[in-house]
Structure 1
Amino acid sequence: MGDLLTVALAQVQGRPDPAENLETARNRVEEAARRGASLVVFPEMFMALPGKDRSPALLARESDSFLDGMAGLARRVGLTVVFGLWEPSDDPERAYNTAAVVGPDGTLRGRYRKVHLFDALNVQESETMTPGNAPPEIFLHRGVPIGLAICYDLRFPELFRHLAFRGAELMIVPSAWYQGILKEDHWLTLLRARAIENTVYTAGCNLTGGAFCGRSAVFDPFGVPIASAGEGEELLVGQISRRRVAQVRRRLPTLAHGRRDLFRDE
């Protein structure tokens, strides 16, 4: 296996119809394959954008069929796909906000349920969503250890440190990051900071259109921007190098220098 891993971020508009989003996925996954990617990422809430008559709990009733559709697509094209999914929770009025990972064989390789709900800036996710109760796990793709976070998680560095100490070399962040005063600056600054402080790649895939700002981006372990998008729909492609991670960690061994005897990482 070569050193370079090509990752595609599908910056798309949020739409309310899961069937329409499956068609968007088909087009973007096929394009990602043509451009040499083996892993393609879709934003948070990609399954369906909620609304007044489309609560997450209602949308979650279609989670199995949407997951099956994405699995069939991943298997047909032969790529690993990461995407936002609504899942039923024990509360019939609220759903889990999930990032799912489907492998090129169509099997579910990973699942992370968002633990930090965005109850801020006049948004109350906890009214319609149930928080996850477990930290994200590492999944392997072509030998690269990858961690997942979702949107608002980006403001909680301990989650990323948790993943870094467990070997992650790439952090994928599906998001529905809102527009607003300084919000785009926060998004890009935090993606870059999480990369620098953990000497990992970070790849943030955001929704665009409506209230969302786009600006998907990939930063390398030294904080160098290697790919970035504007505010429109776009398939962004970047390359991940394990050799680059090792090189930066030799030059800047912050993970090795961490005083875990004094500061617990969980």
Structure 2
Amino acid sequence: MRVALAQIITGRDLAANLTLVDAYARQAKAGGADLVVFPEATMRAFGNSLLDIAEPLDGPWAARVRALAAELGIVIIAGMFTPGTAGNRAKVRNTLLATGPGLEASYDKIHLFDAFGFAESDTVDAGTAPVTFELDGVTFGLATCYDVRFPDLFTENADRGADVNIVCASWGSGPGKADQWKLLARARALDSTTFVLACGQGDPASQGLPVKGSAPTGVGHSVVVSPMGDILDELDGAPGLLFADLDTAAVKEARTKLPVLANRHRF
């Protein structure tokens, strides 16, 4: 299966962000991809209000992505914001939409980024359950940004049959953060003996764009990692499209050589 990672830099304007999705999805399709992954916060970049644009999965923004996927005959995975649950104050959910011919799934980010001086839980409700889906005989698990620091989600997805774990992110910048991103993607591949497709927002600084306060707006370095933890391909900080050809035989081989899923103990 051929997949593509679309490392884009989104902004405040929803229509402009959809234009990016349209352009990169068409490039991915032209390059032979069956599935294209966009980052977390594709709908609107962090550092902007989210409550006013959150919409259900049958709302107009998701409907436009769904229509594009149907038109192109490709699966699109993109980060959006959906309404949160009722509570003392209104919140959103940090949601991944996965849509395409014969496929409809969504995942709400479980581990919220309350770290490095940023409190995602102030504005976001956490998801409660892992999500996997199947495409052409390949099973994919979904994860979002801070989730990559928690191995159990990746091994749970593998237990549910995942050959590939997808991580969509808008990674916070700072000393060593890009190195941590790649290290964690490689570690999660080894933990779960799955391919890891780690697609992040590009680095605004690569385009001379300002970073808004402490908002995690991306560092780039989207990577494709093998089930044995090797980086197969990588982008730099700038926007770009990364293609990868996945063969699930590599997953079976890795699990024969390194049967960590079979050998592990639960305490």
TM-score norm. by structure 1 comes to 0.91
**1:87 aligns to 2:93 (yes or no):** no
**1:104 aligns to 2:110 (yes or no):** no
Aligned to 1:139: 133
CA offset digits 1:89-121 (Å, max 9, x no partner): 12462100001100125x5x2111011111111
Distance 2:236 2:30 in 1: 22
Aligned to 2:73: 78
Distance 1:166 1:61 in 2: 29
CA offset digits 1:190-242 (Å, max 9, x no partner): 00000012111001100011442000001010112111000000001111111
Q: Where in structure 2 are there 5+ consecutive unaligned residues? A: 205-210, 212-216
**1:121 aligns to 2:116 (yes or no):** yes
**1:242 aligns to 2:248 (yes or no):** yes
**Contact kept? 2:169, 2:218, Cα under 8 Å:** no
TM superposition shift of 1:152: 0.2
Distance 1:40 1:169 in 2: 16
Distance 1:50 1:59 in 2: 12
Calculate the aligned-residue CA RMSD, in Å: 1.4
Q: Which amino acid aligns with 1:126?
A: S
Aligned length: 252
Distance 1:50 1:220 in 2: 30
Aligned to 1:232: 238
Distance 1:212 1:100 in 2: 19
Distance 1:62 1:104 in 2: 20
TM superposition shift of 1:85: 1.0
**Contact kept? 2:154, 2:191, Cα under 8 Å:** no
Aligned to 1:49: 45
**Contact kept? 2:112, 2:121, Cα under 8 Å:** yes
TM superposition shift of 1:66: 0.5
CA offset digits 1:227-258 (Å, max 9, x no partner): 10000000011111111111111122221222
**Contact kept? 2:40, 2:168, Cα under 8 Å:** yes
Distance 2:188 2:146 in 1: 13
Distance 2:230 2:245 in 1: 12
SS in 1 for 2:53: helix
Aligned to 2:13: 17
Distance 1:167 1:90 in 2: 30
Once superposed, which parts of structure 1, at least 4 consecutive aligned residues long, lie more than 3 Å away? none
**1:252 aligns to 2:258 (yes or no):** yes
TM superposition shift of 1:62: 7.6
Q: Which of these residues, 186, 193, 198, is aligned with residue 187 of structure 2? A: 193
**Contact kept? 1:55, 1:128, Cα under 8 Å:** no
Distance 1:244 1:15 in 2: 37
Aligned to 2:208: none
Q: Which amino acid aligns with 1:39?
A: L
TM superposition shift of 1:14: 1.8
For the structure 1 residues 139 and 258, does the alpha-carbon distance in structure 2 shift closer, same or farther, using more than 3 Å as the test?
same
**Contact kept? 2:80, 2:94, Cα under 8 Å:** yes
Distance 1:253 1:119 in 2: 33
Distance 1:247 1:50 in 2: 39
**Contact kept? 1:77, 1:104, Cα under 8 Å:** no
Q: Where in structure 1 are there 5+ consecutive unaligned residues? A: none
Q: Which amino acid aligns with 2:239?
A: E
TM-score norm. by structure 2 comes to 0.91
